[in-house]
Amino acid sequence: MLFILKKATFGCLFYFTAMQQHKESFRIQSIVLITGLILMIVKFVAHLITGSNAILSDALESIINVAAGAFALYSIRMAGRPKDTNHPYGHGKIEFVSVGFEGGLIVLAAIYILFEAIHSFITPTSIQSLDIGIWLTFGSGIVNLILALILMHYGRKNNSNAMVADGKHLLTDTYTSAGLILGLVLVYFTNLLWIDSLVALLMGVVILVTGLKLIRHSLSGLLDEADEEIIKGIIVSLNEVRKPEWIDVHNLRVVKHGANYHIDAHVTLPWYWTLEKAHEELHNLEMIIEKHFNNETELFIHADPCVTTSCAVCELANCSERKEVFSNKIIWNLDSIITNQKHKLN
């Protein structure tokens, strides 16, 4: 009964924390979306005033910012929905779709920007009121930087891929704005119009690379690519509290669903333990892993009984069933813990 109460308390705590994180993420993303709409208008006004191709490139990317921000807001709302019969793992995968959608829009915008930049080399256009354009671009760049840092902070805090991706996009937008300002200043003092086209061309390349990286990240999440950093963190936590009774841990897999994790693992325990004793030990192991993640985690830990060959790697002292003397300790690392192979020695 005590274990059930502990598990229920832990589950309620994680559920409450997850709900708070979801509400915070939704609120932050809403503010960013509204601010993005305002910045988009400011940038198009700057383009109408100056006629600069580089500023037009920045303004066009703002359309992507707004569209991606809106989809990220939707994905955060969708990811916060509880599990149901049709979605037993929840709705968190929608965040990876959001990242891919944003990356695709960025790639399309980059292609258009590159096309316009090359065209402007062939057919230059006049530029005026650059001083106003510079100040408007500078102001929007500062706001974008602040929004990017806020999104990345709360995205990592609340484990939201959509927010982190949107933050990285805005951070890239800030870098391109800095390059844009430098180019506009050079045009202002030299009156060399081709510099404006060159800046637009460089911005297009940077934006294209950002979009491709986001698409790559989206695909890795949708295909459940193993995140080595997360698994290494689990290994560190397990090694810190390792017990002799945990003869071996292997076949560990971590799948991310939005802000939540689904974890599978096999643990080798003494074969003569009662079912109650094995359940108690697996429960302790689950508590350790859940504390490591600090958000809702679903664990399926399979207990394997030890066999005769286990004795050589078992550190359990005074075991009445020991058949072989202890010879070597299994080192838990990335290579040994993720493979489905018992008693793998390094």
Distance CA 344, CA 346 (A): 7
Judged by DSSP in three states, 253 sits in strand
d(CA 179, CA 199): 7
* Start and end residues for every CATH 1.20.1510.10 domain found in the chain: 17-222
DSSP secondary structure letters along 133-149:
HHHHHHHHHHHHHHHHH
What are 15-33's pLDDT values in tens digits? Answer: 445 556 667 777 887 888 8
Residues of the chain within CATH 3.30.70.1350 domain(s) are: 228-337
Question: For 180-228, how does the pLDDT look when each residue is reduced to its tens digit (9 = 90+)?
Answer: 788 778 888 888 778 877 877 887 888 888 888 888 888 887 777 777 7
Domain spanning 17-222, CATH architecture: Up-down Bundle (1.20)
Q: Match 């979605």 to its residue by tokens.
A: 87
HSE (side-chain half, CA atoms, 13 Å) at 276: 4
Q: How far apart are CA 306 and CA 308, in angstroms?
A: 7
CATH-assigned architecture of domain 228-337: 2-Layer Sandwich (3.30)
Query: Is the pTM higher than 0.75?
Result: no
Are the C-beta atoms of residues 18 and 260 closer than 8 Å to each other? yes
